[in-house]
Amino acid sequence: MLEKIHQSIDELYPEMVEIRRYLHQHPELSFQETKTAKYIADYYEELGIPYQTGVGGNGVIATLKGTKPGKTVALRADFDALPIQDEKDVAYKSKVPGVMHACGHDGHTATLLTLAKVMKKYQAELTGTIVFLHQHAEEFAPGGAKPMIEAGALDKVDAVFGTHLWATVPLGVLQTSKKEFMAGADRFEITIQGQGGHGAYPHETKDAIVLGAEVITQFQQIVSRRVDPLETAVLTTGIFQAGNAFNVIADQAELVGTVRYFNVDVQELIMNEMEKILKGVCTSNDASYTLNYVKGYPPLINHPEGAEIVIEASKHIDEIQTAEEILPVMGGEDFSYYMMEKPGAYFFTGANKEGNPYPHHHPKFDIDEKALPIAAKTLIGAYLEYQKGNA
């Protein structure tokens, strides 16, 4: 059966590319993906596969029940885009100003939709039930996974598998982990309130730029001098905004950034140390501050058995030359919520496009579309391996 499925996936490769390019030209931001959700729902309507819309927001879930008894396994794809201007010179360039699929979610959706079409063809031979889980809003916390789970997306599911087309990994390479795979990802927003004044009279001011610079410098000592060297953490200040004239001392500064971690104790330590530094710097300079620390997605921790299933499935896919276990990456993913609820695994499908070195979230981001059928074959392979192991 697996050989026939692979052949059918290959036959539908042109349609897979067509879907991906259509979605690439019509991206929608997180929590605004109404047209994309309708496109997905219409596709399942045409296939004759039962589906639900509006799951936890804009989520869409389709269910294909095989004729043979077995487990229920969800396969997940996200479908939101990013607030980035598409700078690629290609025919399928985004038609929406300031919005583009700069992370491959269009490819994820094309992969899962085409896989659904293939498996509908083999429904009579199918063991168990496939849940095609199309998730909105992965890119922007609180994300779409959590509300979909709260809406019952996993209530009857035994396991969950998902993949990310990974543009910095060569085509034909699959990567996963049997433990921590992606980091917890938080966001912080800080406002430092000083006292502005004329640039010629600094002694009469409380310079918010100087205070902000001092805070940022001391923040760098949290990971290097407060966190256990055997733990992993990142603290990045990505925005530092203050001032509006060359000869005016700013009265206010805004700092926005991210914290990444795997251990919740490290997360708490960093939060506490940030507060102490802010309080110390501002108090000693007669300034004030506000700190809004937003806990984002928790760490994505794969289940060992699920990762082993993915690796085993890859052995039956001719296009995969290497399936490897890797050290965790510091990017975040709300697939972590699924792993907290059910067994399974997440994996990267190599999708590096020759001549396009640009990473995820870059204005010139693109993928090698030959990765799409590889992703589809690995997902259905994991599904079948799971059924075999739980017969």
Residues 133 and 258 in one domain: no
Cα–Cα distance for residue pair 334/341, rounded to 1 Å: 12
Whether residues 290 and 321 fall in one domain: no
Per-residue pLDDT, 183: 98
- Of 244, 267, 297, the residue that ends a domain is 297
H/E stretch holding 51 reads: strand 51-55
- Do 271 and 324 lie in one domain? The reply is no
Select which of 78, 106, 138, 369 is catalytic: 138
Q: What is the pLDDT of residues 102-137, one digit of tens each?
A: 999 999 999 999 999 999 999 999 999 999 999 999
Q: What integer pLDDT is reported at residue 122 of this predicted model?
A: 97
Same-domain pairing of 290 and 330? no
Given 297, 320, 345, the domain boundary residue is 297
Distance CA 81, CA 305 (A): 31
Q: Which residues span the domain enclosing 374?
A: 2-181+299-389
For residue 327, give Cα distances in angstroms to 97, 183, 303, 308: 37, 11, 15, 15
| 8 Å CB contact between 111 and 13 | no
Catalytic residue check, 42:
no
Summarize the confidence of residues 376-386 as an average pLDDT.
Answer: 98
CATH of the domain at 365: 3.40.630.10
Whether residue 354 is annotated as binding a ligand: the answer is no
Instruction: Give 91-98 contacts, CB < 8 A, sequence gap 24+.
Output: 91/21, 92/21, 92/22, 92/24, 92/25, 93/24, 93/25, 94/24, 94/25, 94/26, 94/27, 95/25, 95/26, 96/26, 96/27, 96/28
- 6 among annotated binding-site residues: no
Q: Is 138 a catalytic residue?
A: yes
Q: Do 35 and 169 lie in a common domain? A: yes
Question: Quick one: 234 exposed, middle or buried, by C-beta within 10 A (0-12, 13-18, 19+)?
Answer: middle
- Does pLDDT of 71 surpass 90? yes
103 assigned binding-site residue: yes
Candidates 80, 86, 106, 186; catalytic one: 80
State the Cα–Cα distance between residues 26 and 1, nearest whole angstrom: 35
Using DSSP, state whether 333 is helix, strand or coil: coil
What pLDDT does residue 256 have?
98
Same domain, 42 and 28: yes
Say whether both 171 and 245 belong to one domain: no
What is residue 25's predicted lDDT score, i.e. its pLDDT? 98
User: Per the structure block, which two tokens stand in for 330?
Assistant: 């510091």
Q: Is the pLDDT of residue 391 over 90?
A: no
This prediction's pTM: 0.94
**Annotation-wise, does 282 bind a ligand?**
no
